[in-house]
Structure 1
Amino acid sequence: MKLSFIRRLNWMLTGVVSVLMLVSLAVQTNHVNTLFRPLIEPELARKAEVVGSYVVAQIDRAVALGFELDKLVGVDELLSDALAANPDVKYLALEIGGRLHAFSGTEEARSGSRLTVADAPPEGESPQFLDTVLALEGNEAARLHVGVDSGYVRSAMNEVVFDLGSVLIVAILLNIEILLLVVGSSVAAPLRRVTAVMKQAADGHLGVRVASRNRDEVGELSRAVDWALDSVQHKADMTASEQAMTKIGMMQRVVELRFAIFIFSLAEELTRTFLSVYIKQLFEPVPGLSMEMVIGAPIALFMLLWAVSQPIAGSVSERRGRRAVFLGGALLSFVGLVGSGLATDLIQLIVARCLTAVGYASVFIAAQGFVIDATDPKQRAQAIAMYAGGILSAGVCGPAIGGVIAGQVGFRTTFLISAGLALLAAFMAWQVLPRVRAAQGKSSRGLRLADAVLCLRNPRFVGLAVFSAVPAKLGLTALLFFLLPLALDDQGVSQSWIGRVLLLYWLLMIVVSPMAAKLSDRSGQRGGFLVVGGLVAAGAAWVLSMPGSLGTALAGVALLGVAHAMLGAPQLAMLADVCVKERAALGETTVIGMFRLIERLGSVVAPFLAGLFLAHYGYAGALKGIGAVLAACVAVQLLLSALFRPRPPADFPQRTPA
């Protein structure tokens, strides 16, 4: 049962709600402009008067002590200090007899020894600065000018609009997640349960029942099916029926688990925009290591433990059950996030981040294992795609929300909010996941060194994993999670804007990934997608290194999102093509686990490599260095592809020229 109507219903409801939200955003924007603009402009004038009155009082005091006004020294320093304490003030100028005696601020407000703010602006243009003039006591020829950017109100209003736009995007994605949960658990999952029960009954397992508790029309349908089965049941295979009912019940919980994974992923994504900046604030000198290398250590250790813990947690979940590992991982993450928010030095933060990494690895591998347990092989790809969709949605929502929250309440409080989300996800999983062991009776083992040796002996696997997957993770971690937030923060960009910049990457991943996957399947040229994607990622690093404003950052992040969207699906599809013998010997799950483990080494190396480049070459040089590494990996990948082309099957010998 494809349930296309349910999918159409989801998209229809999402579209209606999105339009309503868009209209609401337009109304709120207009309301903010009409309501708050008249209130902000007088407040700016009062702020200028307060700042100017403080400076005037200092100068009047010096004059009252007998100093001559035109011979006062240190006035420039006084103006500079007042300006530094009030960044929204653009200039302070002491004017005596029409000529500047002291000045501090933007040079655009003056021309030589006179102020230009009194000049009339060109026709049709508003003045660049709002100039407030304060007279000095006992000297009519002396005046203090306090200038505020006339565009400050407009930029403040635009900031509100951008925040509302980010909230709109997040609200739409959150609405999709809630609709998937509500419609899926109330309509789609019960209908799938009815379908599964009817199929089991057709196979002779008459002991199965829908057993729905819903009081709606779907519940009425379920009870009607149960009454029909009661009336025709004579002899049922109860053992098979119990197994079928267990499988049907697990399948119903996959939809509900997606929302728990979304909430849990959101907890980590909230910290993406400021994590490297937060680490920088806790920096303490370490002998023999640069500041950039020390800042990269917590991120690298997080990625390393995440990679190493996944196969271990997967093996434990096979023996102890998915539920126990999920809950244990969520609680570890809760403790780690709380510890990150309360850390007072770098050592405490590293310990807390290590706990968080183990927790995240445990949660994701347990959730993925439950999805595999609960679905039939024919439905498994769709179920895993739905599970991964929750992670991608969190990647879009997290940076935008986290940037706004961090800008309003600070980094530490944002970590505590993340910890609360991790605890909420644990509570949801506690209700969704079955109490029994999900994989009893299965034999499992973790990755072994022999598996790695067997895979690494395949040069095509090496070309794919080491020179395509590893650079993709290296670029993501080094550029998006490490260098870019630090560079933008160093330029004075707010946390809200950093969150919006990172938001663009995940949006493009969501939009472009399905299209890239479809095109790669149709063309069959997966190697070409990997080469083009790798080169675009290298180009993104060079764009990010260019001097400029947020425009270059947005362009570079957009290119990186498109590049990684082109790499994702073709990599996994190509893995099946290049590892035929390895999959036969080790099994598909082991080969994928080996591939994922090697892939995450890129995330481990990235902070150290980026920190090394940053310490020696600065932000622009570090970004270019990462781009050069990505380009070199593409070159090696092409070389390996040329040297180790797949041999044609023996049944189809190559033609020889006549």
Structure 2
Amino acid sequence: MNSIRIHLSFALVLVLVAVLAFVSFRTADRAEGLIVPEIGQKAETAGRSVASLVDRALDVGIPLDRLVGIEAYLENVVEHNAGLSYVAIRGATDSVLYSAGEATSLAGARVPLASPAGEGAYVDIDLDPAYASNIVYKLWIDLAIVMVVTALVALELVYISFGVGVYGAIEGMELRLQSLRRGDLSEHTPVETGSVFGELARRFDERLAMVTARFRSLLETARTRGDAALEAALARLKDRYHLGEVFGASAVTVVAIRAPLFVFMLAEELTRPFLPIYIQRLASPIAGLSPEVVISLPMVVFLAIVAMAQPILGTVTERAGRRRSLMTGAALGAAGYVATAFAYDLIGLTLARAVTAVGFAFVFVAAQGFVIDSTDTRQRARGMAVFVGAILVAGMCGPPIGGILADRIGMPATFVLAGLFAAASLVLAALSLPRAAKVRKHVPSIHWRDFALTLGSVRLSALFFLCALPAKVILVAVCFFLVPLHVEALGNDQATIGRMLMIYPLAMVVLVPMFASFAGKVERRTALVTGGGLLAGAGGLLMLFGADNIYVIAVMLLVLGVGQALSITPQSALVGEFGAHLNGRVSESSLYGIFRLVERVGNALGPMIAGALLGLYGFSTTVVLIGICVALGAVVFGLTVGLRSGPEHNADDTADTAAEGNIA
């Protein structure tokens, strides 16, 4: 069944990509033929401008061979007119009187001087032969990215559009067969019967209902007769085969959250490539703070609000309703993005980002709560895959498209567009989410005692503060703060920055599932977390070999992505593994809540650390220092866990007991 869904999705995307590839080829094929004449027209215009200036000088009696400052003027013409490589003023004998730039074989324009004093003289302009090819090269890259993004968005649309139709029926039948294979005879949520798979699911449910009805009849008979032996035997059958139970909501129900979540996350990801640059242009000096720290402040405020608000909003979204909460968050996000577009100083920008942060936290928590409410423990992994998948796809699609848009229509307009996406998320939530969703019993919030017990464990503290927190610091500091600022400072456009920021999520999407399959035993998980931290930190050292080379920066982002992919799944698994030694004194939800809180603190610290170091040491040294700290943290974590393994397991328990005693 799973292969049917994959093949169907692949066929639909293949057709779409084939059409896009044809259109892209035709576009790029005609581009150079259209660009060269345009540059020629530009050269003609520049030539007339130069000729007019020289004519005015000749008309007032200045000899052609005694013009002062003309070469500096010609250099300025070449510098500020992309596509022009050489400008010269030639005499009647074709001799070069004044020139700037380098002559090429691609002639652009020859404009004769109109003044009688300059008879026979002319302005000669050559074009840069690499200019048009560079534009076409970048066009090909943008078209390729658009194709990839379009394919991903198409898959999202297919998944969303058909999630309750054909795809829903296929998935429903797949779930039934998987349950039957493992001996689970629970009842399932009905699926639409307008397709072959829907009809198969209906017939399966009818047969299963007959078995369940027969079981209940026998159980009623046993109770009526007082046959304890038969009742006990039937109880064992019920426990073994889950007879009479309901499997719970399927991913078909959970898919309702995917559309609004994907669209909202896409809104935030659109701003990744240019947000630090936008802040830099609005920032004004603050006494006692370096310019780099000032630039980091709006990002720090955003991430700090998200970190602090998420633990609180769990209860709020549960009481207000996930649908209403998500719509509230989308509305706040839309207002925040539009306000950011019209901000004129750092204070206004920071306030706008604060509003956006509250909206982001509302959407994230409400969406995650909807998944938890709609699934039971047997389907939680599938439901969370829908949740995480929407975020990862948005992370891949947003930065390159945001960079292209910022380059074409400007950064403020792209923020407005992000606001429209957030507003679209609100509409999608109103249309797709049920008004009266199932609500689970509220899980108690984290208490101070839980912090003391958790952080009293040496292994958990080592995992949290030597691996999880540094991993988030290097991600936000390097990917979202330092790289956009530095790549832009190297003279690259926003589209290039967007392409660069696509590298990290692409590595994560491809490699996380692969590395997750290796994280079986606790020793292997520890090695993966240590190795991932070392690799991510070593990526920063690449800046020693060429911080001004964009390709070296791209490799650094790739190495960072591979390192993070190695460690992200084992980290989560080790939280539960190490937490088991607390002997149930801290609930699993509190344990993971503290873990996520530490991660979010790392997110908030990233821009501040990067800004402070950037002002002191520059880009290359800052990245290297952060990389060294991440690598050292991973090594210390590995040594700490290794030294406390085996017979030392009880040491953590002793420390935990002492911590519990101190709290009491």
Q: TM-score per shorter chain, which class? A: 0.7 to 0.9
The equivalent of 1:655 in structure 2 is none
Aligned Cα RMSD in Å? 3.2
Shift of 1:464: 0.8
- Distance change >3 Å, CA 34–CA 375, structure 1 → 2: closer
The equivalent of 2:513 in structure 1 is 514
Range 48-57 or range 251-260, more displaced: 251-260
Q: Report if aligned partners of 1:474, 1:605 keep a CA contact under 8 Å in 2.
A: yes
- Distance change >3 Å, CA 289–CA 172, structure 1 → 2: same
Q: How does 1:374-413 map to 2 (within 5 A)?
A: 374-413=374-413
Q: Report if aligned partners of 1:582, 1:591 keep a CA contact under 8 Å in 2.
A: no
Shift of 1:33: 4.2
1:167 counterpart = 2:163: no
- Distance change >3 Å, CA 131–CA 204, structure 1 → 2: closer
Q: Secondary structure at the match of 1:102?
A: strand
- Residues 125-160 of structure 1: per-residue CA shift (max 9 Å, x gap): xx4x54533333443564433232112121121222
TM-score, structure 2 length as denominator?
Answer: 0.85
Shift of 1:427: 2.2
Q: Report if aligned partners of 2:186, 2:245 keep a CA contact under 8 Å in 1.
A: no
Unmatched segments (≥5 aa) in structure 2: 220-243, 651-664
Q: Secondary structure at the match of 1:272?
A: coil
- Distance change >3 Å, CA 282–CA 252, structure 1 → 2: same
Q: Distance in 1 between matches of 2:33 and 2:367?
A: 53
Q: Distance in 1 between matches of 2:533 and 2:611?
A: 22
Shift of 1:276: 0.6
Range 638-647 or range 390-399, more displaced: 638-647
- AA partner of residue 507 (structure 2): L
Range 588-597 or range 335-344, more displaced: 335-344
Q: Secondary structure at the match of 2:126?
A: strand
Shift of 1:89: 2.0
Shift of 1:82: 2.6
The equivalent of 2:228 in structure 1 is none
The equivalent of 2:607 in structure 1 is 607
The equivalent of 1:345 in structure 2 is 345
The equivalent of 1:154 in structure 2 is 133
TM-score, structure 1 length as denominator?
Answer: 0.86
The equivalent of 2:473 in structure 1 is 474
Q: How does 1:304-453 map to 2 (within 5 A)?
A: 304-436=304-436, 438-439=438-439, 442-453=441-452
Q: Report if aligned partners of 2:309, 2:361 keep a CA contact under 8 Å in 1.
A: yes
Q: Report if aligned partners of 1:529, 1:567 keep a CA contact under 8 Å in 2.
A: yes
The equivalent of 1:241 in structure 2 is none
Q: Secondary structure at the match of 1:259?
A: helix
The equivalent of 2:656 in structure 1 is none
- AA partner of residue 488 (structure 2): D
- AA partner of residue 152 (structure 1): Y
Q: Report if aligned partners of 2:249, 2:376 keep a CA contact under 8 Å in 1.
A: no
The equivalent of 1:619 in structure 2 is 619
- Distance change >3 Å, CA 499–CA 314, structure 1 → 2: same
1:67 counterpart = 2:66: no
Q: Report if aligned partners of 1:544, 1:623 keep a CA contact under 8 Å in 2.
A: yes
Shift of 1:176: 1.9
- Residues 151-198 of structure 1: per-residue CA shift (max 9 Å, x gap): 212112122211110011101211221222234321353566689999
Range 588-597 or range 334-343, more displaced: 334-343
The equivalent of 1:567 in structure 2 is 567
Q: Report if aligned partners of 2:511, 2:565 keep a CA contact under 8 Å in 1.
A: yes
Q: How does 1:92-171 map to 2 (within 5 A)?
A: 92-96=87-91, 100-105=96-101, 109=102, 117=104, 127=105, 129-137=106-114, 138=116, 139=118, 142-171=121-150
Q: Report if aligned partners of 1:253, 1:433 keep a CA contact under 8 Å in 2.
A: no
The equivalent of 1:454 in structure 2 is 453
- Distance change >3 Å, CA 500–CA 205, structure 1 → 2: closer
The equivalent of 1:490 in structure 2 is 489
Range 579-588 or range 264-273, more displaced: 579-588
Shift of 1:500: 1.1
Unmatched segments (≥5 aa) in structure 1: 110-115, 118-126, 238-243, 651-658
Q: Report if aligned partners of 2:466, 2:636 keep a CA contact under 8 Å in 1.
A: yes
The equivalent of 1:549 in structure 2 is 549
Q: Distance in 2 between matches of 1:37 and 1:357?
A: 44
- AA partner of residue 58 (structure 1): L
- AA partner of residue 373 (structure 1): D
Q: Distance in 1 between matches of 2:158 and 2:14?
A: 16
Range 159-168 or range 314-323, more displaced: 314-323
- Distance change >3 Å, CA 587–CA 603, structure 1 → 2: same
Q: Report if aligned partners of 1:313, 1:325 keep a CA contact under 8 Å in 2.
A: no
Q: Report if aligned partners of 2:272, 2:480 keep a CA contact under 8 Å in 1.
A: yes
The equivalent of 1:503 in structure 2 is 502
Q: Secondary structure at the match of 2:641?
A: helix
- Distance change >3 Å, CA 98–CA 543, structure 1 → 2: farther
- Residues 592-616 of structure 1: per-residue CA shift (max 9 Å, x gap): 0100101111111111111111112
Q: Report if aligned partners of 1:326, 1:429 keep a CA contact under 8 Å in 2.
A: yes
- Count of paired positions: 616
- Distance change >3 Å, CA 538–CA 94, structure 1 → 2: farther
The equivalent of 2:281 in structure 1 is 281
- Distance change >3 Å, CA 433–CA 43, structure 1 → 2: closer
Q: Secondary structure at the match of 1:67?
A: coil
Shift of 1:362: 1.7
- Residues 503-525 of structure 1: per-residue CA shift (max 9 Å, x gap): 12111111011111112227951
Q: Distance in 2 between matches of 1:607 and 1:568?
A: 21
- Distance change >3 Å, CA 194–CA 462, structure 1 → 2: same
Q: Secondary structure at the match of 2:100?
A: strand
Q: Secondary structure at the match of 2:286?
A: coil
Shift of 1:435: 2.5
Q: Distance in 2 between matches of 1:604 and 1:33?
A: 42
Q: Distance in 1 between matches of 2:213 and 2:352?
A: 58
Q: Report if aligned partners of 2:329, 2:358 keep a CA contact under 8 Å in 1.
A: yes
Q: Report if aligned partners of 1:209, 1:245 keep a CA contact under 8 Å in 2.
A: no
Q: Distance in 2 between matches of 1:197 and 1:518?
A: 25
Shift of 1:483: 0.6
- Distance change >3 Å, CA 362–CA 582, structure 1 → 2: farther
- Residues 198-245 of structure 1: per-residue CA shift (max 9 Å, x gap): 999x99999x984x6664445656777899979x989999xxxxxx99
Q: Distance in 2 between matches of 1:205 and 1:163?
A: 50
Q: Report if aligned partners of 1:318, 1:438 keep a CA contact under 8 Å in 2.
A: no
Q: Report if aligned partners of 1:32, 1:157 keep a CA contact under 8 Å in 2.
A: no
Q: How does 1:533-548 map to 2 (within 5 A)?
A: 533-544=532-543, 546-548=546-548
- Distance change >3 Å, CA 144–CA 191, structure 1 → 2: closer
1:23 counterpart = 2:2: no
- Residues 350-390 of structure 1: per-residue CA shift (max 9 Å, x gap): 11111111211121122112212211212212221221011
Q: Secondary structure at the match of 2:502?
A: helix
